Every structure is written in C-alpha cells, then in structure tokens.
A and B are shown apart, each in its own frame.
Chain A
Amino acid sequence: MTATEHPADVPRDGPELDGPELDRILSETWGDKPGLIGWLTTVDHKRVGKRYIFTAIGFLLLGGILALIMRLQLARPDSGLITADRYNQIFTMHGSTMMFLFAVPVMEAFGVYLVPLMVGTRAISFPRLNAFSYWLYLCGGIMLWVAFLRDVGPDIGWFAYTPLSGPEFSPGKRADFWAQLITFTEVAALAVAVEIVATILKQRAPGMRLDRIPLFVWGMLVTAFMVIFSMPAVTLASSFLLSDRLVGTQFYNATEGGSALLWQHLFWFFGHPEVYIIFLPGLGFVSAIVETFCKRPVFAYPIMVAALVTTGLLAFGLWVHHMFATGLPRLGYAFYTAASMSIALPSGVQIFCWIATMWDSRPRMEVPMWWVVGFIITFVIGGLTGVMVASVPLDLELHDTYFIVAHFHYTLIGGAVFPLLGAITYWFPKITGRMMGDRLGKVAFGFVFAGFHLTFMPMHFTGLLGMPRRVYTYPAGMGWSALNLTSTIGAFVMALGVVLFLANLVRSLGNGAIAGDNPWGAASLEWATTSPPRPYNFAHIPAVTSHTPLWEESLPVFSGLRVEHRELVLTTVVEALPDVRDPSPTPSIWPLLAALATTGLFIWSIFSPWALVWGAIPVGIALTLWFWPKSSPDTHQEPVIE
C-alpha cells in the first residue's frame, strides 16, 4: 500500500505532512506544559530519565563522601575521628546508598532514557508509571538521608542480617528506615522493569526482529527480567523484618521457631542477582561503545546475546556462596562452588568477543573507549578474585575481610561504574546536544583509574593480612597501617578524578562543541534523531532492516500515525511486524500525588501497622483518579480501515 490510500480523515505523518509543519504539530501533541506544572506532570521518558540519572549521580556523590569519611577514619590506626556508632551508620549508608539509590536506579535510568530511542518508538510503555516510579524513588532516598542526618540512620550493614537487625538487638527505628527504603526502591525498580520489558517486546520499530535488537537493549531486557524475579525476595524479607519489629511476628526469632538463615536465603536470592542487575547494563554500554568506535558490529552477536541470557539465569543459582560461612551440607558447597565458577564462562566469552571485535579494526581511542579499556582490565581482575572466593576453603579464610571489599569493588566499579562513566561521555551529546571535552575527559579517566587501583589493590593484601570489614578502627602494629594509608590516598585521587569528570560535564553543558545527530558515526536508532531528541523522538517511525540500521544505505520510515493525539505503533514480539496503533498516556499530576500518598503510607507504617489500612485509602483514591479517563472517548470515532 502507499501512504495516500487512506482517506484524509485525521492528520497523520507522511509525505504530505513532514518537516517543520509536522514538527510543530507533534511538538504540541507530545510536549509538556511550560513551567512548573509541566515539570511536575511530565511523562516524557527523556525528562524522567534525565531526572533519574541526575538524582542517582547525586546519591553517588553522597555515598562517595561517606566513603571518603571512612577512608579518613581508617587512614591511621587508633583514629578517633568518628565514633564507632557513627561509623556503623556510615558504612551502612554507604552500601545502601550505592546499591539501592545509585547503582540500580542509574542503570534503569539509562534504560528509561535510551531504550525507547534505541528501539525506535515515540515513548516508553506505561509512562505515568515511569513518572510515579521516579517520585517514589526520590521520596525513599530523601527519607533515608533525613533519617541519617537526624541520627536514626541504619547501622546494620547493607545486608541487615538478623538477628542484629531484629527487635532484640536493634531497638529504635534505625533498622526500620532501612527496611522501608527497600520497599520504596524495589517498588520503583519493579515498575521500571515492567516498562522496559513491555517497551522492548511490543514497541520496537517495525523490522527490528529479535536478532536485530541492539546489545544494550538485550542487556536491559535480561536485567529487567532479573529485577522482576529477584526483587520480590528482598521485599518479602524486609516486610517480614518490619513485622517482626512492629507487630511481634517471629520469622527470624530462633527461640520461637524462626530462623536467621531464612533472612540470609531470602536476602541473597535477591542480593546475588542484584550484582548482575548492576553489571549487565554495564556490559550493554561496553558493547555499544566498542561497536561504534571499532566501526563494526560486535563479533558473534548471537553468542553475545546467549551469554547475557546465560548470565541472567546462572545468577539465580549461586546466592548461597554468600553463605559458605554459615555451615552448609557438603553437596551445597560443591554445587554452589561449581555454579559460582561457571558464571565466569559467559562473562569470559563476552570479553573475548569484544577483544575479537577490536582485533582486526582500528579502534578510535576517544574517551568512552578509554573507559572500556579500564573496564576490561579492572573487571578481569575482579572476576579472577571472584573465581578464587568461589572455592569454599579460601572463602572461609577470606570471609568478612578486606579481600572481599576489594573483590566486589573491582567487579562493581570496574564492571559497572567505569562503563557508566564511558556511557555518560558517549551519550552526553545525544542527551544535551553538546560534546564533552576530550582532554579533560582523558585526564579524569586517568585519575579515576589510577586512584581506583591505588585504593582497592592494597585492600587485597589488607584482607589477606586479616583485617576484617566494618571495624571502625584498628590498633597499630598489625601491619595494616601503610596499606590503609595508601588506600586513603587512592580514594582521594579517585575523588579528584570524579570531580574533574563532573567539572567537564558541567562545562560542556554550556561550552561543549555542538554535536549534531550522530557525532560518533554510530549504528543504532537513537542517533537517527536530533540531539537532544524532540519530545516525540522520531518524526516518522523508522523501518529497520539490520541490527546496525544507520550503517545501511538509507533508513526508510513509516507513515500513518496520528499526530494530534499521542499514538505509537505496537509490533509483534518476535518478528516486529506492525500490528496495532496504540494511544500513549498524556501528562498527569496523579503519578506524583499517588507517589506522595504511597510515601505517607510507607513512612507511617514504620510507626503503626494501621497505616496499612488508613494509609491505603488516599493511595486508592489517587490511583483511581490516575486511571480514570479524562477526555471524551474518541478512538472509536476514528474511521479505522480494518
């Protein structure tokens, strides 16, 4: 069929409606109201995504400041800089902030911003849920930090083991704020996961079959499924903890038939996949960057996808390796050791595929590529120490020492934060329309990379020498002093690198070179539109014919979506054949109000179980008004040609 066959019933994009006129109408349809109202009611995935990224980086800085305070305290033996009690709060806040308020949200935030652009659609699925999720996340973070600043910050470690976190050993409300932070962030994360799954499965541009999905998007799809399967575990665990503390249930009380190990099983059933939830999007960043700067598709695409999926599956089979020290049946030891070692295989496969991609090409060593190099070196070291501690005898020796601290910072910072900083540099021009400074970018990389290794490499040895985690000070003469001082110096070098990175970012916002649509010559669809993208993302929906669509001769497009209403196209799951035209929700204040009502419910329920009854009423009202259709029904009045 051609674009002219349908009657001129309602305005649609196409050859007759194109260019500035189309832009004007679509901008009006998809844009927000100006000013504060628009800011509070927006459901644009790009605005919400930017907000998410900005907030998560804010929490990264807060968590980083806590890390520096800890390093100052540990720089010399018998330091009296901070008290033991405050130190307990600080390391708990550092871990909780980094895991729940920075790492997972920032990865999902990049998904929120990029996935709809990369799959070639006008909006994320369930955009109001997306806005709701952001507000809830923000409120949860504020709650935790206000509690901390008022000296009721949690002091039980980021994994809050019972019985320490239970009513007997943690009176007061500190542990409750931690448990409720979990509820906030998990509800937010689950909402985003659902949106990402639905967007990827149903809103891909026509022709983007499963085997043409960009690897970053595959990474986000696997990640979103992992969130869906793992986060209920920690939500359940923390709800049990809250009820033990508030209404006297006995889930974790050994004297009444409960079990502290129940906590550990539930927590790590979430906690281990959590690591890969942070790390798989990082792998996606690396694939995108390697492909662009080597100017060729990543080697062995099907194997890369299989490796991502395998990692996602295996991640659920090794949570018990966090519990080797609790005493397990021998079979358990053998099984979880084997499972823990086997997950190194899909990660190794991907490393080799990236190296194979670079091998025969001439990689352009721009700043994002440097972060990839930093990632490969650092992550391989972290992976190798991971294989080491998968072995039970060694794990029993190293458990709860600084060796573990070194190991997981190598995997998390090396595996996720380095790719993230590369990703920020790489997509900054798309998000802002300007390039980040090259020289300062390389200098910042150098400081962060050197500072990182100076901080964490010595911790392997501090750990081997027996220094336990989570001690607020240590006596002189243990042989740990010089190593600790080195780590502290390294931490400040790394912090300087982060400051330089941010300075570059801020400076580039105003002064960076104008980027244009596709400054790196990349292949995926987000580069097919303007930088920054218009509110409607694409003037016409692209038609995809390969998994590197922008490296093809041309990018054909589809016509025929309505332009005076928010409309997008749903496609079939496997083949991505065009299937349904679907309306997309308009801006609304109700997601914000629903999030505020939910916040009220969550915080109130720290203090009274009746919050679940009375607090649910405003939430119910807000949700009802959110979903109640506002405009007159009109889709059935349209003369649809079926």
Chain B
Amino acid sequence: MSMRQTFAGDLAVLPTHAFGTRSLTWWGVIAYMLIEGGGFALAAGAYFFLMSQETVWPPSSHPPDLLPGVLFTLIILLSEIPNTLLKKAAESEQRRRVLLLIVLLDLFGLALLVIRGFEFAHINVRWSDNAYGSIVWALLLLHTIHILTDWAESVVLTALMFTRHGTEPRRFVDVSEDALYWRFVWITWLPIFALLYLAPRFV
C-alpha cells in the first residue's frame, strides 16, 4: 500500500442515490421476485400435476364461489393506478404526493386482506379433504403471505416516511421499489386466480 499509486479518476462526482437498475436494492428486489415467482410457478406446476391424476376436477366438491375472488381481482387491478402514481411521485421525489398515495395503498392492502378472508371462507373445500383441497389452500395461502408481508412492509415504510428519515432521498428509492414489488404481487395473482376460479369451471 505504501507504493505510489496512479489515479485513473475520481469517484466523488458520482451521485449518492439512483432509481431502477442503477440502485443496488432494485437488484435485490428482482432476485427476490425470481425466487418467489419460481415458487409460484412450481406450485402451479404441482396443481397441474395433481389435476392430471384425477378424472374429475375438482373431485367431489364445488369450485370456490366466484364473488369474493372476482372482487379481490378487480380491487387489486384497480390498486395499480395509485401504485403507478406513487412510483412516479417517488421517482420525482415529491414527498407530499408520496405520503398521500402510500397511505391510500395501505388502505387498499387492508381492504384486500379483508376480502381475502371471505375468499378462504368460500373456497368450498377443506385442505385435508383431498389433494385438490390441499393445493388450492396452498396457492391461496402462498399468495396471502405475499399480500400480508408486503402490506406490513408498506406500513413500516409509511411510518418511516412520516419521520425525519422520510426526508432522505434514498427513502424515495425504497418507495419506488416497494411499488415495483406490489406489481409483482398483483401480476402473480392473475394466473393463481385462473387456477383457483377458472380451471375448475372450464377445464
């Protein structure tokens, strides 16, 4: 270390935060999506594998009632509007807009969790009845864990944004990536919705 070094350049000119692919945590979020997405895909594969073992699907029960599932799907699709606005507000670092929209999204999450409760109540099969019941419960539970953890994380982030830490520019990166992850949560819901509600009716 004592020998003379030649300096090729200076890093002091670089910014100290950036959005999207320029952010380190963005890559963490993407990797997490790959892991979770892989889990969903394999669970869906298990669904088809178990379906191929049966002649009638669902075996000896009614498909889940449509109303709670459809309602959930409509509301989670609707949530993308404030979610997009939130992501844009975060990336243009407008704190007031971010505070307003993140609270709105927390309320969306809460409503979705309540409806999810009704979905479980109208699933029309117990997890222990047969393998169909098991995989249906597994898919719904797996997705619910994602809604719940993302909601809890958003609430903590909301609280953080209202403290003095919320003025730090890096927090806007966190909000932007939280909005990105919410997209993953609702996009993965769509194939699961198809498996739970449509496949037993139309396949």
Using a CB–CB cutoff of 8 Å, the interface residues on chain A facing chain B are 1-3, 5-6, 12, 14-15, 18-19, 23, 125-126, 190, 193-194, 197-198, 201-203, 206, 228-229, 231-233, 235-236, 240, 243-244, 247-251, 253, 256-259, 261-262, 265-266, 269, 529-530, 539-541, 543, 554, 556-561, 569-570, 572-573, 578-583, 620, 624, 627-629, 632-633, 635-636, 638, 640-642
Q: Report if A635-B17 is in contact (Cβ < 8 Å); known contacts: A251-B46, A627-B156.
A: yes
Complex partner residue of B130 from A193, A256, A572, CB under 8 angstroms: A256
Contact across chains for A257 and B156 when beta carbons are under 8 A apart: no
Q: Nearest Cβ distance between residue A277 and chain B, in whole angstroms?
A: 14
A–B Cβ pairs within 8 angstroms, 19 of them: A15-B7, A229-B38, A236-B46, A249-B137, A249-B138, A251-B131, A269-B42, A543-B8, A556-B6, A560-B12, A561-B11, A572-B22, A578-B11, A579-B22, A581-B12, A582-B24, A624-B156, A633-B167, A633-B168
Q: Nearest Cβ distance between residue B81 and chain A, in whole angstroms?
A: 28
Contact across chains for B31 and A198 when beta carbons are under 8 A apart: yes
Q: Nearest Cβ distance between residue A586 and chain B, in whole angstroms?
A: 15
Contact across chains for B7 and A556 when beta carbons are under 8 A apart: yes
Contact across chains for A556 and B22 when beta carbons are under 8 A apart: no
CA distance A232 to B137 in the complex (A): 18
Q: Nearest Cβ distance between residue B179 and chain A, in whole angstroms?
A: 17
Give the top 10 A-B pairs by smallest Cβ distance, nearest first: A560-B12, A560-B11, A257-B131, A249-B134, A633-B168, A556-B8, A543-B8, A248-B128, A258-B131, A232-B39
Complex partner residue of B7 from A194, A559, A569, A583, CB under 8 angstroms: A559
Complex partner residue of B169 from A3, A240, A635, CB under 8 angstroms: A635
Complex partner residue of A14 from B10, B39, B50, CB under 8 angstroms: B10
Contact across chains for B10 and A232 when beta carbons are under 8 A apart: no
- Per DSSP, chain B at the interface is helix
CA distance A229 to B41 in the complex (A): 11
Interface size (B, Cβ < 8 Å)?
58
CA distance A247 to B13 in the complex (A): 58
A542: nearest residue on chain B (CB-CB)? B8
B155: nearest residue on chain A (CB-CB)? A624
Which residues in chain B, 32-59, are within 8 Å of chain A measured between CB atoms?
Answer: 32, 34-36, 38-39, 42-43, 45-46, 49-50, 53-54, 59
Q: Which residues of A contact B27 (CB under 8 A)?
A: 125, 197-198, 201-202
Q: Report if A247-B127 is in contact (Cβ < 8 Å); known contacts: A23-B1, A640-B15.
A: yes
Q: Which residues of A contact B18 (CB under 8 A)?
A: 570, 579-580
Contact across chains for A253 and B131 when beta carbons are under 8 A apart: yes
Contact across chains for B138 and A530 when beta carbons are under 8 A apart: no
Q: Report if A262-B17 is in contact (Cβ < 8 Å); known contacts: A190-B35, A240-B138, A556-B6.
A: no
Complex partner residue of A258 from B6, B7, B134, CB under 8 angstroms: B134
